[in-house]
Amino acid sequence: MPIATSTYAWPHCTKCPDCGNYYDAAADHGIITSDGRIVCANCAELYGWQICDECHRAVDCEICDEHSYCADCAEALGWSYCEDCEILENVDEFEPAGFSGRNSYVNMPSKRKFGIELETDRCDDYQELMGDPAWGAKNDATINGKEFYSDILYGDDGLDAIERLCSFANNNDWEVDASCGYHAHFDMTAESDDSLKAIAIAYIMTCEVWGKFVDNSRIFNSMCKHNKADLSAIYAIDDWQNFSRFQTRYEWINFAAYSVHGTFEVRLHEGTLDSREICNWIRAHATFMDWASSAGWAKVRNTLICMNNEERLDFIGKLWDRAGCTDLANYYGEKACV
């Protein structure tokens, strides 16, 4: 911008206290140094200041990805100043930094990997989780808060990561409401066509049992409908990748997730930030999937087909017992009786 060299002050012009030249204060919006002095753009540049892209002032500006923002504008735009790397980072959304756990399976009875998505209505101070190895945050138009999604988790350390997130949520008074859901993904990449069919059949035949464990508002609503694929459709599958591409994600067992993530997604659960509830749901499904996978589709069908829902509930409880998860049988037995 042109700087006046005359000592005459033109209208709207201000004299720079450092160089003595006049500049157009109205056009420049003022160039403010760290000690509060207003100087011309030339002097501000000599001091190494950057002009804020939002308010056009040079007030403690930081740079990231070709943008410069003062502290106030950065905060208003959802950016945060990282003291370690001295770079502004957009923390409106962020990815998990990368989970790595021990191969410990004391509380987690299954070696099946899993991932979860927790929707929130309120999530104060969630930006403090940026850089967490297990957790990312993203926007979701169906909820007021953020959706928190995990990296690929496994074992006891995977359950501990859930405990840690829920503890943070509790300490910061996070909330969920009726619009929120809890979705769990389970790894299917090591399954054969036969074992995929066995797991799918097992869930189609026990859908009413799993519905006993969740809030009535979630039972096969528009976000987690009954599956259109029935037993005959599952029996006929000879290409799971192709089958999954033509499924809808809004079913209680989301087979469409297989074509995208190599997982089956359980969408039936209501939103929750209760770590016990979240972890028990993971343990319960992983154990059930492991049984179906090892049994094969014919044994799964023959075992469940002659049972009513009460008998299927009792059978699943015994599966948990045999896996060393007696607590699950007691926990979900009480829920089924409510």
The full DSSP string for 2-46 is --B-SSS--TTEEE-TTT--EEEHHHH--EE-TTS-EE-HHHHHH
Q: Say what percent of the chain tops pLDDT 90.
A: 67
Amino acid in the structure at residue 302:
N
Q: Say what percent of the chain tops pLDDT 70.
A: 78
Contact 89, 261 (CB under 8 A): no
- Per-domain residue ranges for the chain? 1-49, 51-90, 114-337
Stretch 230-240: mean pLDDT, rounded?
94
Minimum mean pLDDT range among 47-51, 192-196, 227-231: 47-51
Structure tokens given for 151: 């990296």
The average confidence (pLDDT) of the chain is 86
Residue 33 binned pLDDT confidence (cut-offs 50, 70, 90)? low
The full DSSP string for 113-129 is -EEEEEE-SB-TTGGGG
Residue 17 binned pLDDT confidence (cut-offs 50, 70, 90)? confident
Q: How far is CA 335 from CA 19, 210, 224, 293, in A?
A: 77, 10, 20, 26
Sign of the alpha-carbon dihedral angle for 240, 284, 180, 94: negative
Question: Is residue 217 over pLDDT 90?
Answer: no
Minimum mean pLDDT range among 84-93, 98-107, 251-260, 304-313: 84-93
Q: How far apart are CA 286 and CA 305, in angstroms?
A: 21
pLDDT tens figures, 49-97: 666 766 666 655 555 555 666 666 766 666 655 544 445 555 589 999 9
How many residues are present in the chain?
338
Residue 338 binned pLDDT confidence (cut-offs 50, 70, 90)? low
Of residues 258 and 49, the one with the higher pLDDT is: 258
Question: Is residue 328 over pLDDT 80?
Answer: yes
pTM for this prediction: 0.74
- Chain centre distance of CA 145: 11
Q: How far apart are CA 155 and CA 159, in angstroms?
A: 7
Amino acid in the structure at residue 96:
P
Stretch 316-331: mean pLDDT, rounded?
95
Quote the pLDDT of residue 144: 94
Amino acid in the structure at residue 147:
E
Residue 247 binned pLDDT confidence (cut-offs 50, 70, 90)? very high
Nearest to 153, CA basis, from 131, 107, 129, 185: 185
Residue 232: left if φ>0, alpha if ψ -120 to 50, beta else—which one?
alpha
Residue 1 binned pLDDT confidence (cut-offs 50, 70, 90)? very low
Quote the pLDDT of residue 178: 93
What pairs with residue 60 in β-bridges?
Answer: none
Quote the pLDDT of residue 233: 94
